[in-house]
Amino acid sequence: MTTEATPDTVLSVRDLTIHLPRGGDRPHAVRHISFDIHAGEVTCLIGESGSGKSVISQCVMGLLPSGLGVDSGTVELLGENLLAAPPGRLRSLRGTRMAMVFQEPTTALNPVMTCGAQIDELLVQHTDMDAATRRARIIEIFIRVRLPDPPRIYASYPHQLSGGQRQRICIAMATVLRPALLICDEPTTALDVTTQAEILRLIDEMRRETGTAVLFITHDFGVVADIADQVMVLRLGEAVEQGSRDAVFGQPREAYTRMLLAAVPPAVPAPRPPAEIGAVVVLASHLDKTYGASGWWRRSQPVYAVRDVSFQLRAGETLGIVGESGSGKSTVARYLARLHDTNGGSIEVGGHDYARLDRTAQSALRRKIQIVFQDPYRSLNPRRTVGDSIVEGPLNFGVSEAQAWQRAAQLMEQVHLPAHALKRYPNEFSGGQRQRICIARALACEPEILIADEAVSALDVSVQAQILKLLDEIKAAHKFSLLFITHDLRVAGQICDRVLVMHRGQIVEEGSVHRVLADPQHAYTRSLIDSLPGRHFDFGNALLETV
Amino acid sequence: MLMLTLRRLLGTATVFLLVAVLVFLMLRLAPGDPAVLLVGDHGTPEDVAQVRAYLKLDEPLPTQFLVWLGNVLQGDLGRSFYHHQPVSQVLLDRVGPTFALAMVTLLLTVCVAIPLGVLAAWRHGTWLDRSVLGLSVLGFSLPSFVLGYLLIWLVGLKAGLLPTQGYERLGTGSPWTTLRYLILPAVTLTIVYTALIARVTRATVSEALTEDYVRTARSKGLTELRVLFRHALANSAVPIVTVVAIGIGMLISGVVVTETVYAIPGLGLLTVDAVQARDYPVIQGVTLFFSAVYVLVNLLVDISYVLFDPRIRY
Amino acid sequence: MTPARTSITPPQDDPVKSPAPRALNRSLLRRVVRNTLVRIGVGALLAVMALGLCAPWLGTVDPNTGDFMNINVVPGTSGEFTLFSGESVPHIYWMGSDSIGRDIYSRLLYGTRVSLAIGAQVAIVAVLAGTLIGILSGYFRQLDGPLMRLMDAVMAIPGILMAVALVSFWRGGMATVVFSIAITEIPRVARLVRSVVLSVRDEAYVEAARTLDTPTHKILWFHILPNAIAPLIVQATFICAAAILVEATLSFLGIGLPADVPTWGSVMAGGRVQFTERPDVVLFPGLFLAVTVLAINLLGDGLRDTLDPKFNKRAGP
């Protein structure tokens, strides 16, 4: 659904088709893409990984990686065809008429140049302001993006700033010359949810102030619900559905769109059947972990990763630990899995104090606790077959080879993968499938406690829903306790019974997941919930109307 | 900054101590009586007894080491019975030409190798890139003495352009003459050294060009030249300088051979002569000296990292 | 009041992709074999090796016997060669003879065996020792500091000097030469393996192996070491090339193997004195040497480009 180009059309894309290099999994990155963005408007491209959304933005900027090329179509920025422009012309447009903000603030800035200098070189390239004027302009934009103490930031290096601050610098760099088009390629995906909310607000403010057209690429439906005027849903390089946000979200026509919307975790979790909860299996008391307090370290401020954390995990229960980066949730999980030590406190598992056990007893205990890690692409040894990885655990525990392989075959069926796939290598599986294999690997040890350390965070939203469902299934079948670590309260809501909220190493709130989501007591929890994008949008409601 | 220097100094001192142990052991564990070996073919039995007493060769090995180390730290590297002089004196006499050769080589290499590497990285995959790679492999495969003779043959004997043997010290005539003697040897060494540095430059810069911050720089509309130097090369400085420092070891090896081929009276030629004459104190002394140079250069380079990369804070 | 949600209809489960070739190694081998550099390198190397192996049948005579009637003969002369036993055989001096009447062509061909053997032996010794040190250093934190300091110290002593010093102090034959050259190459291998171990040690699948209670030696063997194989192979070829060069240099300088073992370096050493009249005595063997080393270096480059590029950037000449 495209509109005719009106005088205030900033970007006009028509029938864009871009090919991939030979040997890719499909011949084209994107096909027949058409859309317009008007001044002051936000158009969101949404899709799962591999949908080609980033390629479109790279094409507009003229920064397609080698191997990719435009087969057909036009891209017009303020009436000028970018695809026909010579490199010199494109260079003069970049930064002045169109600018881009990328996903990873950690690596987007040159580590050996001060932040001020990096914006300064942009001004030197495109304007003829003198040094004093440039500096004033930079300080001004720093103030606009709400950076504290602009002169200090000017002289700082990127590694001295936080992720949120770095992204603000990137936004400042992109908007300092007030471009007509701002492209944001997943700018908040790598940030904490509270920081994300601030950055989105910032982008929105600047857009309203200067009337910039914004092309926003994301995979997060919540974000789209909050900020988009127009939406285009992409799948494997083709536009599945597009239109205004209300139209696409309110009355989705395509099955794919409906499926994606259905997979978005709701702000208010569906009621779950009560779990059979048994005795306490893990009792953690006053856990403490500090980095950098002793030895040769030059850190003046030691880092308190975990401070005085105590909790209980009961048999058959799903306990969620929710927190942003630096909250200490991973440290707790890893301590439980005995992957490293704490400085203080104790953990009792099944009544036995971990620290007091000898090596063999510790070994025996360790088997009972297994982990599923976050990154499915790195949790499996790429040189060993999937079957080898699954039987590794049981073989270590003295199970016979025949038995181990039999168990592996059974487990593969339970995670809905064909048993003959045991002979394949990890690179033949998708992310979601690999995560299932990791679950099977963990189950092979017959654990009593399964820790899912951000196990679904790296997956597409539709796959996420499947994995969560799988976890529920096998938990019911195998009867273990699940410790679910995540940064997303809504995801926790879908699977957990109880939840702990952690902030800066301490537990700030605890309770049943319904209670915490509906009626948060602690200020931090409240801010966490307030920052959730799209929480005003009832995805479930929308679907109901189309049924 | 102070902590940084202190830590590095401690590390360097440890390494040098280990070097001293290795050099000491190399000679002491050799077959034969060390005193006799040290005195060489030109000494008398009285000399042997003198050396034995001086180095306390009847004491246990650790004591011997401490005595020896003590001497070394005071500048006493033993006596060369072949040259009838203290080793330190011999070294001092001959260090000039070697230093001059090394400096000229270093200068030439940096001026040639780094631009070549940057160029190859920029035009990755093109014929330019491949020819730089090809030339560097060639430079690496030719033994330096063969290269030396080749140059002597072509430039010196056939074309008669430059002197091919010998040397004139600085101060005894015009510096231009000294330079003329140094050109061929320096070029010989430069070819090998450049091969190494150009390769590493090309590898690190082409990797830097794939980094995110280069993408950001291009999205700002900066010229390719600026992206190449201020962004890609600037971030490659640390690995490149590291290889230059580590390559000093290679350079020194090359110097030994090159001086022999071109008959330059430096430390390299000294070493080769010492081997023929079985003048072990000199061999030991030169080894220790060059190792010390290497360690020192690497220390300076380590400290210089702070200039190149603000993230490095020891 | 929350409305009932529609059930999630899962998308079609992605079918497991069509099976990759049975062993990953097979496609890897194919890529290696197709690479141009590898082909040139292996081809040239095989030719040189063939020359060395077939030396007795390629018109050569005993490389160590000198015929005093035929000293300093120019290349191409055909004449006679008097053997040790006294009898004379017809012989063409393809590359002339040296100052004590030894046939240079024969010395060159027989020298091939020695040089290649030394190159291979040095590579093996250096790789084995370096890998051991690298693993210990990378995986066991307490050992890292002392071992790396030791490696730094060894690296600080310039290669030629170390070899010169060791060979002249310790005398002896092949073993000393191989050992002396290998020592100078060990630190680089150790650093390479250490960096591989350090980066793989923190990978998620290694952490997973630890939670599965896999014993340390199995973790090292199955999970960590396989990552080092490709860069080690690449490094081994470069070490072989460097070792051949160093050995030639040592022989050229008059140090190294005893005089009765023909090597390319000693052939060239013989030509030093008369370089102005007979430059070919140095340059011919030099060319041979250069071609061999070039072939090995090209092979190394080709291997580096095709085998698992992730860690190979650190492997180098």
Shortest distance between the Cα of B220 and any Cα of chain A, in A, equals 5
- A interface mutation test: which of C211, C223, C307 has the most A CBs within 10 A? C211
pLDDT at C276: 75
The residues, ordered by sequence, that sit 6+ positions from C282 with a Cβ below 8 Å of its Cβ are: B146, B149, C268, C271, C272, C275
- The shortest CB-CB distance from A110 to any of B3, B213, B313 is to B213
Q: Choose the weakest-confidence range: A27-36, A357-366, A448-457, B174-183.
A: A357-366
Say how far apart CA A267 and CA A245 lie, in whole Å: 19
Check residue A234 and give its pLDDT.
Answer: 93
Residues with Cβ within 8 Å of B132's Cβ and at least 6 positions away in sequence, in order, are B116, B117, B119, B120, B198, B202
Query: Domain segments of chain A: what residues?
Result: 1-97+180-267, 105-178, 375-446
Residue A396: pLDDT over 50: yes
Distance from CA of B69 to the nearest CA of A (A): 30
What's the pLDDT score for residue C25?
A: 64
- Lowest mean pLDDT segment, chosen from A52-56, A199-203, C70-74: C70-74
DSSP C222: I
Per-residue model confidence (pLDDT) at position C12? 38
**How does pLDDT run across A496-508, given as a tens digit for each residue?**
999 999 998 889 9
Contact C253, C164 (CB under 8 A): yes
Chains that touch B (3 or more CB pairs under 8 A): A, C
Q: How far is C173 from chain B (nearest CA, A)?
A: 14
Strand residue runs (E) in chain B:
79-80, 85-86
Per-residue pLDDT for A260 more than 50?
yes
pLDDT at residue A169, as a whole number: 94
Percent of chain C with pLDDT over 70: 88
Bridge partners (DSSP) listed for residue C308 = none
Do B157 and C276 count as a contact with CB atoms less than 8 A apart? yes
Q: What pLDDT score does A108 carry?
A: 93
Taking alpha carbons only, the member of A526, A547, A483, A542 closest to residue A193 is: A526
What's the start-to-end Cα distance of chain A, in Å? Answer: 23
The domain A1-97+180-267 is placed in CATH, from the list 3.30.230.10, 1.10.1270.20, 3.40.50.300, 2.30.110.10, at: 3.40.50.300
Complex prediction ipTM: 0.85
pLDDT at C10: 36
What integer best gives the mean pLDDT of chain A?
A: 87
Q: Where are the domains of chain C?
A: 35-63+102-315
CB contact under 8 A, C211 and A432: no
Type of residue at A145: V
CB pair distance less than 8 Å for C283 and B150: yes
Search chain B and give the residue with CA nearest C255: B275
CB of A296 within 8 Å of any CB in chain C?
no
Interface test with C, best of B124, B147, B149, B205 (most C CBs within 10 A): B149
What's the helix, strand, coil split of chain C in %, to 5?
Answer: 65, 5, 30
Question: Is the confidence at residue A1, as pLDDT, over 80?
Answer: no
pLDDT in tens, C250-291: 888 888 777 678 888 888 887 777 777 777 778 888 888 899
For chain C, say whether A13 makes contact (Cβ under 8 Å): no
* pLDDT tens-digit map of A49-78: 888 899 999 999 999 888 888 999 999 999
Contact C3 A270 (CB under 8 A): no
Amino acid C104: pLDDT: 81
* pLDDT for position C26: 67
The CATH code for residues C35-63+102-315 is 1.10.3720.10
Please give the pLDDT value at position A215.
95
Nearest residue of B to residue A182 by CA position? B219
Low-confidence stretches of chain B (pLDDT beneath 50): 314
Asked if residues C311 and C193 have their Cβ atoms less than 8 Å apart, the reply is no
Residues of chain B with CATH 1.10.3720.10: 90-308
| Average pLDDT, rounded, for chain C | 81
Residue C279: the pLDDT is 79
Name the band, by pLDDT with cuts 50, 70 and 90, for residue C4: very low
> Do A541 and C214 count as a contact with CB atoms less than 8 A apart?
no
Q: Taking a C-beta distance cutoff of 8 angstroms, is the pair A111, A157 a contact?
A: yes
Q: Rounded to whole angstroms, how far apart are CA atoms C128 and C125? A: 5
3-class secondary structure, B212:
helix
Q: What percent of chain A has pLDDT over 70?
A: 94
For A296-340, how does the pLDDT look when each residue is reduced to its tens digit (9 = 90+)? 544 556 677 888 888 888 888 899 999 988 888 888 888 887 756
What is the mean pLDDT of the segment spanning A5-32? 86
Q: Which two tokens stand for residue A30?
A: 């994107």
Inter-chain touch B235–A112, beta carbons under 8 Å: yes
Best mutation target, C207, C212, C225, C227, to test chain A (most A CBs within 10 A) = C212
- Asked if C16's CB is within 8 angstroms of A418's CB, the reply is yes
Query: Which residues of chain B have a CB within 8 Å of the CB of C171?
Result: 30-31
pLDDT: is C269 or A200 the higher one? Answer: A200
CB-closest option in A363, A433, A547 to C6: A547
Which of A258, A339, A380, A381 to mutate: most C Cβ within 10 Å? A381
Kindly tell me if the per-residue pLDDT of A423 is higher than 80: yes
3-class secondary structure, C13: coil
Looking at residues A461-486, what average pLDDT do you find?
Answer: 90
The reported pLDDT for the residue numbered A547 is 37
What's the CA gap between A11 and A5, in Å, rounded?
9
Query: Do A219 and A189 contact (CB within 8 A), yes or no?
Result: yes
What residues contact residue B106 under an 8 Å CB cut-off, 6+ apart?
B193, B251
Residue C32: the pLDDT is 80
Pairing of strands A80-81, A230-235: unpaired
What's the pLDDT band for C312 if we cut at 50, 70, 90? low
CA distances from C58 to B41, C106, C108 (A): 44, 9, 12
Helices B234-262 and B144-151 sit at what angle, rounded to 10 degrees?
A: 70
What is the average pLDDT across A34-55?
91
Res B4: pLDDT:
72
The CATH architecture that domain B90-308 belongs to is: Orthogonal Bundle (1.10)
Nearest CA to C159 out of C40, C253, C267 is that of C253
Q: Which of residues 394-453 of A touch C (CB under 8 A)?
A: 396-397, 416-418, 421, 424-425, 427-430, 432-433, 438, 441, 445
Check residue B225 and give its pLDDT.
92
Report pLDDT for B219: 93
- Which residue in chain C is spatially nearest to B33 when comparing CA positions? C169
Higher pLDDT, B95 or C81: B95
